[in-house]
């Protein structure tokens, strides 16, 4: 039986087709098995944004096997860190979890150059998150 990874991160955006998928792809790539990675959307799209897939492929991260998923309470409750991505009131906060909101442009309908800039900003934020997770600063505050 596989033991639970040290940390679990959930990335949430409205359609789970661009920002959250790119962030999840980077986290899987950078943290490997040390972090359980989830992504979801409040209103998932039918497919991942093909321009996001292309932009990620350019930096060697393959997200072609991912599919947009609906946000569930179970996913949120099983996550130590919940990161929403510019979706405002549509993406809820979950009490008892570390929560961050990353204000990022929406790649939907954008050309490759714009999506590259979004991708690069996401990478910087995910690299910072990986560093924080490795340093133990991402744990949920004690509730007792």
Annotated catalytic residues are 13, 87, 91
Which residues are paired to 81 by β-bridges? 9, 98
Using the structure block, give the residue that is written with the tokens 């992504």: 39
CA–CA distance from 42 to each of 3, 60, 131 (Å)?
29, 28, 28
Residue 78 token pair: 């099983």
CA-atom Rg of the chain in angstroms: 14
Residue 138 token pair: 């991402």
In the DSSP assignment, the letter for residue 18 is: S
3-class SS of residue 108:
coil
């Amino acid at each position: 039986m596989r033991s639970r990874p040290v940390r679990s991160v959930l990335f949430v955006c409205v359609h789970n087709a661009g920002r959250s998928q790119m962030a999840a792809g980077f986290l899987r790539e950078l943290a490997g098995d040390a972090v359980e990675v989830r992504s979801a959307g409040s209103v998932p799209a039918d497919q991942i944004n093909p321009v996001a897939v292309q932009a990620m492929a350019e930096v060697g991260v393959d997200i072609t096997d991912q599919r947009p998923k609906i946000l569930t309470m179970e996913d949120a409750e099983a996550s130590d860190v919940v990161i929403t991505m510019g979706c405002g009131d549509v993406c809820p906060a979950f009490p008892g979890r570390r929560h961050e909101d990353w204000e990022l442009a929406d790649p939907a309908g954008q050309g490759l150059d714009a999506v590259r800039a979004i991708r690069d900003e996401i990478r910087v934020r995910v690299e910072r998150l990986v560093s924080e997770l490795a340093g133990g600063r991402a744990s949920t505050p004690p509730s007792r």
